[in-house]
Structure 1
């Protein structure tokens, strides 16, 4: 790829939640889908072959990768560095190369991972919002001052993030006139509570100006969709709601 930014941001976000995962490499693109150890969050990362300036796959391949170690390597890349990932059966290692002011090369041993049956949840979302990532991040920072979990509420014309605890309360409200809210469609009002730490990790995948799609339903997992690589890449997260106590 002519830039390392997509990999830096996406692996940086995913590796905070998931330590190891398989990459399924096909002729038309690659996908990594995995759940965190507590089965609270699911990540689905896809890049089509068109996202790359050069893409050569002789046959479908599965590569087990330590995402924590992969993130350490990509943290050393500048976002404008050209990046190359290469694998051959003879080496059984993933080779990474960054070309910028210099050429730097790394390699990563591959893992044999157990197959995990991942659920395909049938979720009836009744509200969708498109919001700038920076706006959500600011709301999460506010909420983190007060507690660990934040409630999302989507109603006609209004998007709310709010939290109340013994130490106080915080609320961020977006209306359709606000710059941070780009689109809002609500068939039925929704509310659900989520862990702030998980959300903060997920939103590391996006730049502040990026527009993020949020799909929501009453007490359902929240779905967060980041599009990248000029629409040729996508990262989706599902995060289970917290049970609210009276």
Structure 2
């Protein structure tokens, strides 16, 4: 790829949630889908071969990768560095090369991971919003001052993040017409509560002006979708809601 930004942002975000995962290297795409160890969050990464300057894959393969170690390596690249990722059967290692003011090369051993079936959950989302990542990040920072979990509420004309605890309350509201709310569609009002730390890790992949698509329903997992490489890929997260005591 002609820059390293996609890999830095996505691996940096995913590795905060998931330690190890199989990457499916197909003839026309790179894909990864995995759940965190507690099975609270799911990460789904797809990048088309069209996102690459050069893409040469002779057959589909699964490569088991330690995401923490990969994050350490890709974090050493500048966003503008050309990135080259190579694998050969002979040495069974993933090789990464970054070209900028200098050329740096790394290699990572591959892992044999136990396959886990991840059926796609059947979720009846009733609300959809497109919001700048910066607004979500600021709302999470406000909520983190008060507690560990934040409630998302989507209703006609209004998107709300709020939290109440013994130490106080915080609220971030976006209404139709606000600059940070690009789109809001609500078939049925919905609300649910989620862990702030998980949400913060998910939005790390996006810049402040990037648009996050949020899909939501009453007491359902929340879905965040980020477009990558000018629409040639996507990063999707699902996060289970917190169960509230009666």
**TM-score by structure 1 length?**
0.99
**Counterparts of 2:75 and 2:28 in 1: how far apart (Å)?**
27
In structure 1, the partner of 2:219 is 219
**Counterparts of 1:180 and 1:149 in 2: how far apart (Å)?**
22
In structure 2, the partner of 1:160 is 160
CA RMSD of superposed structures (Å): 0.5
In structure 1, list runs of 5 or more residues that go unmatched.
none
**Counterparts of 2:137 and 2:65 in 1: how far apart (Å)?**
29
Within 5 Å, which residues of 2 pair with 1:66-215?
A: 66-215=66-215
In structure 2, the partner of 1:14 is 14
1:245 lines up with 2:218 in the alignment: no
Q: Deviations over 1:84-113 (max 9, x none)?
A: 100000010000000001000000000000
2:244 alignment partner, SS class: coil
Query: Offset of 1:126 from its aligned partner?
Result: 0.2
Q: Deviations over 1:51-83 (max 9, x none)?
A: 100000011111000000000001100001000
Q: Deviations over 1:99-130 (max 9, x none)?
A: 00100000000000000111310000000000
**Counterparts of 2:178 and 2:243 in 1: how far apart (Å)?**
30
In structure 2, the partner of 1:52 is 52
**Counterparts of 1:43 and 1:216 in 2: how far apart (Å)?**
17
In structure 2, list runs of 5 or more residues that go unmatched.
none
**Counterparts of 1:137 and 1:90 in 2: how far apart (Å)?**
44
